[in-house]
Every structure is written in C-alpha cells, then in structure tokens.
Amino acid sequence: YNADKAENKAFLYFARHFKKHQLPVPEIFASDEKNDIYLQEDLGENTLFSYIETDNRNGDFSGRLEGYYKQVLKWLPEFQVKAAQDINYEYCYPRKRFDRQSMLWDLNYFKYYFLKLADIPFDEEKLENDFNTFMDFLSEAPDHYFLYRDFQSRNIMIKDEKPYFIDFQGGRQGALQYDIASLLYDAKANIPQDIRDKFLEIYLEQLQNYIPELNKHKFREYYYGFVLIRIMQAMGAYGYRGFFEGKKHFLQSIPFAVANLKQLLDNQNLPVHIPELTYALKAITHSQKLQSISAGQKHLTVELNSFSYKRGIPVDTSGHGGGFVFDCRPLPNPGRYEAYKDLTGNDTEVINFLNDKPEVHKFLDHTWALTRQAVENYLERGFDHLTVNFGCTGGQHRSVYMANFIANRIKEMFDVSIDLRHREQNF
C-alpha cells in the first residue's frame, strides 16, 4: 500500500516494463491502483549491502562480493540502454529527466542541509555561480538513457545467489555515468579505490556490447563530475536526516562520504573551473565538526527486532553474530481474542492486556536481566553492536510488546543508539 498515486504509477509501469525485458525485478501479481494497493513478489531480506557488512568488515572485498558486483555490472546496461529503447518516460516520478532542474534540487539540498548545518563557510553568490558552471558541464553528457537514480547496494537484493533490483520508481532519462557513480561511491559500502577502478573498467567493457562506439576517455571525463554530484546529493540526504531531523544513524554515513570526497579531490581534476565549490568541498574534508562525528563512530548500537517464527529468525547483518533470541510464545496470546486480532503490541489495549499478566512480568524480568548484563559488558569492552530478537507466532502482539519494553528500558539506563524494528509490521 502506498498513498502516493504518482509513485505507484511509476513503480508499476517500470516493474512491468523491466519484467517484459526479462530483467530481474519483483513480479507484480496484481494491482488496484484506484485503492493504492498492489501485490508484488517477495525477494527476501538479503540485500547486497548486508553481504558487504559481513564480508567487507576489514576493507577487503571477498570473492563472493566481487562475484555479486560483476553480476550487477552486467545487468546495469540492460536497464540503461536495452530497456530504455522503448520506455515511456511520461510515467516518471517526480521528474522525467535528470536535467538542470533535477541537478539544482540536489545542489541546493547539499547547500542548505549539509553545508549550512555542518557550518562549512562559503560565499553564497560565488557558490551559485559555480553551481551553474557545474550544471552546464554535466549537461553536456549524452542523457538519452535510463537513469535508475538510486542504484546502490541497499536496493539490490540477493536471492539464490543472483541479484534482483528494487526501488527504481525514481528513474528517469539521463546520463549513463550517474548510476555507476551511485553504485561505486555508495558511502557505507566503503569499496576500496582499486576495486572501484576495476569495477568501472568491467562496466565499460559491458557497456561497449550495447554502445560499440563508446569513447571511454570521454565517458570518464563526465564520470567524475557525476561522482561529485552524487556524493553531494548523498551528503544533503545525510544532513537532512541526521542534522535536521536528528536521526543519528544517518550521521554514521557522513565519515564514509567525506572519505569518498577526499579521495576524489586528491586524485581527480575536474575539467571545469568551480573555485568556490572546490573551496567548500575541501573545507568539508578538514571540518573539525565532521571529524568529531567520525571519532564518535565507536558507539554501541542495540538492534531490537520483533518477528514471526513463521518467517524465521531475522538475518544478522551486523557481521558480529551473537546476541539474543527470546521466544515469547509461552506468554498469553492476545491474538486469540477477537478484540485484539487487528491490533499490535504498539496499541494501548494490547499493552494493558499483557501488563495485567504476572507471567509476562516474570518473563520481562529474566529477559531484562540478561540484556542489561550484555549491554553493560559490551560498553565496558568497546563493542559497537548487540542484537536482541523477540519472536512469537505472528510477530504482531507479544514480540512487539517485548521489543518496545526492553528498548525503553535500555534508553532509560544507557547512552546507546537504539535500532528498533518490528519486521512483520514493516517498521
């Protein structure tokens, strides 16, 4: 269900169009666009990013990761070139071309939500002039291809050892360079530069199968410009979510984006004169405020999940393993009563029902004692992640109640980050 009819229209059209071209996207089984609902294929829970977190913990890309990326790089031109030949861009959301207006939105997003909120100095008029110069340069690149827009590891699912692609509803017409820049400079993926260079060459070789006249040198000239605007777009998003909305986990991506920016500035010369923008970008890489975010990265995050045993225990994407899985099925089940069937453990009626049961409080005491001991120990030892899972039959009542209760207890007692997820409720 999604109340945004225009977004639904774009997603459903692209999904059916790509499926027609035999691309690995979720199948749409049925849709009722009038009522904003559709039924689509479930591709599981494993994203490419979840494998990156597991396999790339020490900065080394494993053979398995390389294999996944090579498959992804093979599919990308299929979206960009082959499927683009008969695509109808009138369905695009929110804009049908990555043109100057789209670029300006991204650049202003970066200026207002990152530069200003991170206290980076700049001259407003000179920066606007550089924005125009930069957009003029990017607009020279051929842009009659499909631009996926958010082509990154969290939007690539791995199922049966093969990649599947989601979240393409923001696609539009644009330049080839943008999507490969998004993939290879995906901030928290933290791809080593030599691997980035290797993957770019693999992509260009694949692309030549679709565009035999491709000029690799010319492609690279524009490529690094699109790398830069993608990094700035991502920084704008991190600034908005992290600085403005106060969602701290978005700030955790900033050090990776700054590292990408520094690597770009140190090793690539853009064929366009943008002195004020360059000054601001270099100031980012030397900002003490942003460095303090990086210094504070070693912070304990407690991930709490509620889930249904029917769908299995949540996948550990932290790479650490361990933690707890508590089975809530011995507790009284509100779902057996008609009054609570359509409610969840977030609702007052269900909370009151469970609060009245002595066996629930006994269960809470035991689980809290174990969790508290672990949090205290992890903080003493400088660990950065603990997982605590609560499962029940449907993942709707008891497990949600327990996860919420323990999350609140932890917040009251410890200075840690809480990542609370109710899997079956989709939040």
Q: What is the pLDDT of residues 88-126, one digit of tens each?
A: 999 999 999 999 999 999 999 999 999 999 999 999 999
Three-state DSSP at 313 gives coil
What pairing do the DSSP bridges indicate for beta strands 385-392 and 301-308?
parallel
How far, in Å, CA of 201 to CA of 223, rounded?
12
How far, in Å, CA of 328 to CA of 307, rounded?
10
Burial class of residue 241 (count of CB atoms within 10 Å of its CB; 0-12, 13-18, 19+)? middle
Q: Predicted confidence band at 414 (pLDDT cuts at 50, 70, 90)?
A: confident
Q: Predicted confidence band at 59 (pLDDT cuts at 50, 70, 90)?
A: low
Burial class of residue 74 (count of CB atoms within 10 Å of its CB; 0-12, 13-18, 19+)? middle
Q: Predicted confidence band at 252 (pLDDT cuts at 50, 70, 90)?
A: confident
Report pLDDT for 57.
56
Q: Predicted confidence band at 60 (pLDDT cuts at 50, 70, 90)?
A: low
**One-letter amino acid for residue 256 of the chain:** F
- Residue 298 in contact with residue 364, Cβ under 8 Å? no
Q: Look at the chain and count its residues.
A: 427
Report pLDDT for 305.
95
**One-letter amino acid for residue 71 of the chain:** Q
Write the pLDDT tens digit of every residue in 206-216.
999 999 999 99
DSSP conformation class of 78:
I
Over residues 304-330, the mean pLDDT reads: 89
How far, in Å, CA of 47 to CA of 72, rounded?
12
Write the pLDDT tens digit of every residue in 386-403.
999 999 999 999 999 999
Looking at every residue in the chain, the average pLDDT score rounds to 92
Q: Which residue has the tokens 């089940």?
A: 333
Report pLDDT for 217.
93
Q: Predicted confidence band at 380 (pLDDT cuts at 50, 70, 90)?
A: confident
Report pLDDT for 104.
97
How far, in Å, CA of 405 to CA of 420, rounded?
11
Closest CA to 108 of 122, 96, 92: 122
What pairing do the DSSP bridges indicate for beta strands 301-308 and 162-165?
unpaired
Closest CA to 297 of 261, 255, 263: 255
